[in-house]
Structure 1
Amino acid sequence: MPHPRKEKLPELNLSIGENISRIRKSRGLTQIELGELIGINQYQISDYEIGRLHLSDEMIIRFAKALKTSSDEILGLKDSEIEKPSLRLTKRLVKIETLSEADQKSLLKTIDMFLKAAEK
């Protein structure tokens, strides 16, 4: 029979679902897009993120692969590997936010088309 631990385990800052949500958002993915990568629907992604569903070993691996991260980060065992945008990019984003909504939409469409073309 195992002996009880004398030391307390460290407390986790976020739940596993909160980690998934944070990483997903940092990757710029919607729940629908992540669901398509994993092969489940948006409602199930939501249920994992709010803790209604618990992750199996297979789902941890699927989430890690789809989010291009480690299972340790999803489980909260490893600090975030999320890169912060450069200061140069951040300054540009701040300027973009000052544009009218129509101009922002137009600019984002252009950026999206450029990124899509670069993926090919």
Structure 2
Amino acid sequence: MIWERVHDFQLGIKSYQQKINLTAPTITFPGIEEYDVFSIVYEPVHGIIYTNSKKEKRVMRHSEIHKFCDATLRRTLEGLKSYNNNVKYGYVQKELTNDEVEFLNLFEEEIEVRLNYRDQMRRWEKN
């Protein structure tokens, strides 16, 4: 974060104002078409593959979840829950290691926490 010193000449008050420096998330890389949806990618970025609203494959990194909009997170969460259930009950023939299952569950929990936090902040802003 960058802090700027601001002086209000009408009130004669000096204050500090936050200026947030947000960078766009890393969402794609060459060769992404080879991966299945909700598969875990370790190289060149660490994350999972999801599809956006245009049905294009993108990468969501765990450290960049806070940069995605609510609609993308909700869509990804819905697909991830469905995929986890399909893997759990054997509808998907892909064998996942325990680490991969844990990683997918971690993503699911983190997205839920982020969405709940944003909903709570919106409720507080209304009051």
What is the TM-score with the length of structure 1 in the denominator? 0.23
Greater relative contact order structure (CA < 8 Å, 6+ sep): 1
Larger strand percent: 2
